[in-house]
């Protein structure tokens, strides 16, 4: 197997075919989830008459603006099943796609700073073990062994009382993941159509979606899947579906390049900061979503200011690090902070949205399960609990409220 990465700007990325007038499946959104869905439609179901439509350019949305963190240590059974399936797929994807997208299983620490954090963390570790997910509870000294640059002394502003630890977790280079999926989908016959904005939907006399109106003409479709992070609710409303989703800015930043000093991924939900170090040497830092609704790919400066202050408290060695750039994405957030995957009340229209901050790590599982739904018209067993119906039945999957850990 060749694991040499493709050129930085491979020529095939810019070869946008003219869309055909009809496809079996049209996927709106050429980010990680849309590309993974198209790939698994072809690979798992033999459906290659597929178009992936993208308003901008391939993987130019949230896929290029995410945390790069991959983990599966979630509390609820439904979340654990989804993200563990994703992690298992991640472990085989470099070989399967014949592409080294720098998947590094360096582990993730979720720090505890209070007695309640400790209780929540221990509970989650035990739940993980029951679901067959690798998880450990570490004391402060063990945390320092895993990540020596964390200040675990007891007199700090945010004392580290322990942490959950998932050794199989890690990071991957997000743009390379998108290129790897796109290349394989392209080879299997999928049309990747950039610069093609979806403006509305075509319906028949019975109210079923039969196609999409785009900036490049009308395209008929047997089924339409929405996978446009931050904008799926806007698109769905044009088809007459109001989704229980709000869009929020989500920010992150990177430092200048430094020698490798940070061996793992550290998350602190109490002070809303996560820190990892990319392969090239940048420190990657981020926080939770901005509290207000918005579609701008930038956020409030005070959020960045607070996350940097927290990071310096936890990692004094970062005090003289320089910020290189900041960026923002747009994330969908549902009432229970868990995604929506499945059918809508409008026949032939399906959605994959509401992932909040958990979209990247779920990429292969989201694509796998959404492809199953688009191919068969039925929910995959792993994604079935994430259907829209849970908001009327009350079977919510409130990972954030129960485990104090956002997706």
**Across the strands, what pairs with 38?**
none
State residue 302's pLDDT score.
82
State residue 303's pLDDT score.
83
Summary count for the chain: helices (H), strands (E): 10, 18
Mean pLDDT by 10 residues, the chain (407 residues): 47 70 97 97 98 93 87 96 98 97 97 95 97 98 98 93 98 94 96 95 97 97 96 94 92 93 94 92 89 81 86 94 89 93 98 93 98 98 98 92 58
- The whole model's pTM is what? 0.94
Angle of CA points 368, 372, 377, to nearest 5°? 155
Helix, strand, or coil (residue 332): strand
Rounded Cα distance, 191 and 15, in Å = 10
State residue 264's pLDDT score.
97
Q: Can you list the alpha helix ranges (DSSP code H) found in 192-345?
A: 232-238, 301-314
State residue 136's pLDDT score.
98
State residue 2's pLDDT score.
42
Q: Is the Cβ–Cβ distance between 35 and 175 less than 8 Å?
A: no
77 alpha carbon, distance to own chain's centre = 19
For the record, the structure tokens of 150 come out as: 């964390």
Rounded Cα distance, 371 and 181, in Å = 14
Rounded Cα distance, 193 and 235, in Å = 18
For the record, the structure tokens of 257 come out as: 């390049």
Domains of the chain from N-terminus onward: 11-66+174-244+335-403 (3.50.50.60), 108-167+246-333 (3.30.9.10)
Rounded Cα distance, 152 and 155, in Å = 9
For residue 310, how many other CB atoms are within 10 A of its CB?
20
> 327: part of which helix (H) or strand (E)?
strand 323-333
State residue 36's pLDDT score.
98
> 185: part of which helix (H) or strand (E)?
helix 174-187
């Amino acid at each position: 197997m060749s694991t040499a990465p493709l050129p930085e700007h491979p020529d095939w990325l810019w070869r946008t075919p003219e869309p055909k007038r009809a496809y079996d499946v049209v996927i709106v959104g050429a980010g990680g989830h849309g590309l993974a869905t198209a790939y698994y439609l072809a690979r798992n179901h033999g459906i290659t008459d597929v178009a992936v439509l993208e308003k901008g350019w391939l993987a130019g949305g949230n896929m290029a603006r995410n945390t790069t963190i991959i983990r599966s240590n979630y509390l609820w059974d439904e979340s654990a099943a989804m993200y563990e399936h994703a992690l298992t797929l991640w472990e085989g994807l470099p070989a399967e796609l014949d592409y080294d997208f720098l998947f590094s299983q360096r582990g993730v620490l979720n720090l505890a700073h209070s007695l309640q954090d400790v209780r929540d963390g221990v509970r989650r570790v035990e739940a993980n073990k029951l679901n067959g997910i690798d998880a450990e509870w570490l004391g402060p000294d063990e945390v320092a062994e895993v990540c020596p640059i964390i200040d675990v002394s007891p007199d700090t502003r945010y004392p580290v009382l322990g942490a959950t630890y998932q050794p199989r977790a890690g990071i991957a280079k997000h743009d390379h993941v998108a290129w790897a999926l796109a290349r394989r989908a392209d080879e299997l016959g999928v049309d990747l159509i950039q610069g093609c904005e979806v403006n509305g939907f075509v319906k028949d006399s019975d109210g079923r979606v039969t196609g999409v109106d785009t900036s490049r003409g009308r395209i008929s479709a047997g089924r339409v899947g929405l996978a446009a992070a931050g904008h799926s609710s806007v698109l769905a409303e044009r088809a007459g579906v109001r989704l229980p989703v709000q869009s929020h800015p989500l920010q992150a930043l990177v430092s200048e390049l430094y020698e490798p000093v940070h061996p793992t991924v550290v998350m602190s939900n109490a002070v809303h900061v996560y820190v990892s170090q990319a392969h090239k040497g940048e420190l990657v830092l981020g926080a939770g979503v901005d509290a207000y609704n918005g579609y701008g790919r930038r956020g409030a400066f005070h959020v960045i200011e607070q996350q940097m202050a927290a990071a310096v408290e936890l990692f004094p060695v970062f005090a003289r690090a320089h910020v290189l750039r900041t960026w923002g994405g747009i994330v969908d957030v549902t009432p229970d902070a868990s995604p929506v995957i499945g059918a809508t009340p409008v026949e032939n229209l399906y959605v994959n949205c509401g992932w909040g901050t958990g979209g990247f790590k779920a990429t292969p599982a989201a694509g796998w399960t959404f492809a199953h739904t688009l191919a068969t018209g039925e929910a995959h067993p792993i994604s079935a609990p994430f259907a829209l119906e849970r908001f009327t039945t009350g079977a919510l999957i409130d990972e954030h409220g129960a485990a104090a850990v956002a997706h």
